Structure 1
């Protein structure tokens, strides 16, 4: 079922204003109100995650009841789940985040001037690289993209790990509330994370954490409406460390607009399965003939019946089901086509993809690129917030200067490589007068770190020149 109004991400600007007026500290009563206002969105997002996990609670066809409830359980009720939902999510996640996002620090004269010196620029670049490796940003980005595609937004939490280093983890979106002045959850002012756990006696315990620009306040209680503060510590940053990653401005998941089509396909396939199994494909009719069980058993062994009817009106024949398989196949095909088209997901089983390559294949992915472009814009904005947060921590911990505006994010699609076409295009760009760095960065899709490639090229060129000069001197 589509979202209802109360299941959309709520307007929480009133809570932001209230917290600003009260020193950025939340009370248990205000916390309970914020959670209650977010519960509609949280519950719907939880159902979407359960559907992705293929749990009985999340997939509607698994909860389908027989047409007649008073049949004492004898009516067939096949429940077939054709998991288009996960296919839509996994396809976008693999296409957009299958190739790691490249994080780097600019190595231009402008960045050196802003950072201080060449040595300080190298230190800043090392800090960025070390963080992406230490925090395993590839995995975090993949999880955030997946949950953004499922629920409309993902969330991540920055923290100081036991090694006293900056780290980050992905958070379930149905557990995260982001409070902002600008209605953009990637630029939060305050954050709330809430969830349920079970204690040793299997009793439910509700927990919550509130984040402002300086501290984390922990809460606990028997319910979200009855919580008490249990602790308050500095989280180590000077900005809210809980951040949202929007899928789009509407905070809507990629498969939400085709949920009814997917459910219709599941019902169609389940009903067809019921029809196939119900009394098999055909059954035998004895017209004006009395047949007992021993006779039927003998016929099953011999393959024939022998009977005598003086009136001459007895008949034995098969009654086969008259199923309009053409209508059912066309109906299923239309549903499947609409599911892929309306969700902007390529159907790789289509014959069109079997013969397409290069530019023609990219044109067939235009609709998917539209979705990915929206997410890329949001992730770029979220990345700027992340570098602002990290740069302040690095300044205190490492005593280095990192300019957030000089931190770069490069996105590349997990697209089938066409090395020959790319090499010819790069050669043409170089021959046209473009610098090799520009040609390599824009022509080769498999290059993730252009600085590393250019360094290798420079070293090889220096080695060749040195060898040539040495040979001439001899």
Structure 2
């Protein structure tokens, strides 16, 4: 078998004549009959890794580049015919804008995970604090938006704490069974050890972790294995949608067109500075020493100057001499309209607002904003359902460990997971309307509206404690003035 260097493997398998950006196999979901059969036939596992490296990973890397602003199409190849022409490249951060807007909209206000049992609720709260769950969930949403999928790994640390962390999408995948239930049977991570020139593969099943070495022929050799107590595959996949596509993936061609239009405009502006000066008048091209006329013209081109002789009439009278710059005429107004149309289409098909739209800004209530974000609301509903499904799987696996460790168990179905869209809201106006209508709000509710108060119950306890320690106020006496005292004495006489 021919050896390959590291992970340089299969090329994209496009349909002949297709302009498809990524092949369908670039987002393939791996399935297998059972984990026992898979581990007894490592050749098939090796093929999955090879397919992921050669076909799926290039798509993920390209999406990451666009998010970082390294837009592939505008930065690759040669765009101008002549070497002396301006060749500006202007990548635009539409991909970052789309993903960060959706991330902030969904989890800018951290999601709330609560349980009706206060004791269990406190354990979940402590666990989330240890794992920085707010930041963790936010990064999962961002990976979902960029790659169309995200992965987290559950593990127990040396202190026997339940931990969860994000793992790299570009070297991770989950294998599902081939039943209609589509249950995960294994999670796979492959890690390149650059210092020891080897690749390690970790395979997580429902109760064990297998450690393999992968050589350049994609042959797997078992190195070690150990148990885990999660009673389920501890690598959890978070899907962005049914097809696992990123939020800006479908508009990559539009982003490329916008980059090209802006780059062409920049090149036009620079080329205008290097415009050729055309002189209309008689000039003797033969009188330049040993240079022939062609060499003279080349020298003129290098000097950005050309000479043209005007026509001569029958009487030998020469036309008027003139000089002007020659440059490509550019329809600036049409170009700006074209770019605006592209930008609007990018925002339309990603369901994100165009902040440059004059009709979008202004002081508006949260409800008014929701109507303008109607398409994004539909997308958010889908993303939330899929996220909650994976999130419950996280706590289900953690609950399995808590049972074994006698740390208490809980019914995962009783968990309440609440997303709050991050919209500007005129809370003061809403409270004013409510109170004018005769409504009343508890102190707990009022405190929950303040951003500086994290836990209203704890804040109420602090207030009560401070009031109980406050010294009794002494009555204030108004002592009479001297004049008032003299008046009282005079009356007494």
With normalisation by structure 2, the TM-score equals 0.76
Cα distance in structure 2, aligned partners of 1:26 and 1:369: 46
- Aligned counterpart for 2:44 among listed residues 26, 30, 46: 30
1:45–1:440 CA distance, 2 compared to 1 (3 A):
farther
Task: Say if 2:229 and 2:400, in contact at 8 Å, map to a contact too.
Answer: no
Cα distance in 2 for partners of 1:348, 1:329 equals 17
1:343 and 1:287 map into 2 onto residues whose CA distance is 54
1:64: Cα distance to partner? 3.3
Pick from 93, 97, 101: which aligns with 1:83? 93
1:401 Cα shift? 2.2
Residue by residue over 1:137-170, the C-alpha shift from the partner in whole angstroms, topping out at 9 and shown as x without a partner, is 1221111111110111111111112322111111
Aligned residue in 2 for 1:232: 225
Q: Does 1:339 pair with 2:346?
A: yes
Which residue of 295, 317, 329 maps to 2:323? Answer: 317
What's the CA shift for 1:53? 2.4
Q: 1:426 to 1:3 in 2, by over 3 A?
A: farther
Indicate whether 1:178 and 2:174 are aligned. yes
Q: Does the alignment pair 1:46 with 2:61?
A: yes
3-state SS of 1:353 partner:
coil
In the alignment, structure 1 segments of 5+ residues that lack a partner are 108-120, 294-308
Is 1:145 paired with 2:141? yes
Question: Which has a greater percent of helix?
Answer: 1
The structural deviation recorded for 1:62 is 0.6
Show CA shifts across 1:39-59 (max 9, x none). 42332122211222234xx62
Q: Please report the RMSD computed on the Cα atoms of aligned residues, expressed in angstroms.
A: 3.4
Q: Following the alignment from structure 2 to structure 1, what is the Cα–Cα distance between the partners of residues 86 and 213? A: 47
Q: Find the partner of 2:358 among 351, 354, 360.
A: 351
Structure 1 equivalent of residue 398 of structure 2: 390
RCO greater where, 1 or 2, for CA within 8 Å and sep 6 or more?
Answer: 1
Structure 1: how far apart are the matches of 2:104 and 2:414? 28
Instruction: Tell me the residue number matched to 1:160.
Output: 156
SS of structure 2 residue aligned to 1:354: coil
* Superposed displacement of residue 273, structure 1: 1.4
Q: Is the 8 A contact 1:48 1:150 kept in 2?
A: yes
Q: Which residue of 2 aligns with 1:303?
A: none
1:170-249 alignment to 2 at 5 Å? 170-181=166-177, 188-199=184-195, 203=197, 205-223=198-216, 225-249=218-242
Distance 1:381 1:436, change over 3 A: farther
The answer as to whether partners of 1:289 and 1:314 remain within 8 angstroms in 2 is no
Decide which of 24, 27, 30 is 1:8's aligned counterpart. Answer: 27
Please tell me whether the aligned partners of residues 238 and 390 of structure 2 are also in contact (alpha carbons under 8 angstroms): yes
The farther-off stretch of 59-68 and 257-266 is: 59-68
Residues 248/444 of structure 1: CA separation in 2 closer, same or farther (3 Å cut): farther
3-state secondary structure, aligned to 1:155: strand
Larger Rg over CA atoms = 2
Work out the CA distance in 1 between the residues paired with 2:68 and 2:446: 41
**Is the 8 Å Cα contact of residues 437 and 454 (structure 1) preserved in structure 2?**
no
**Matched residue of 1:355: which SS?**
coil
CA distance in structure 2 between the aligned counterparts of 1:429 and 1:36, rounded to whole angstroms: 66
Please name the residue that 1:376 is paired with.
384
Is the 1:156–1:170 contact (alpha carbons within 8 Å) kept by the matching residues of 2?
A: yes
CA distance in 2, matches of 1:427, 1:224: 73
Return the offset for 1:33.
Answer: 2.1
d(CA) in 1 for partners of 2:116, 2:94: 41
1:64 corresponds to 2:77? yes
Q: CA deviation at 1:288?
A: 1.4
1:66–1:76 Cα contact (<8 Å) kept: no
**In the alignment, which of 120, 131, 137 is matched to residue 135 of structure 1?**
131
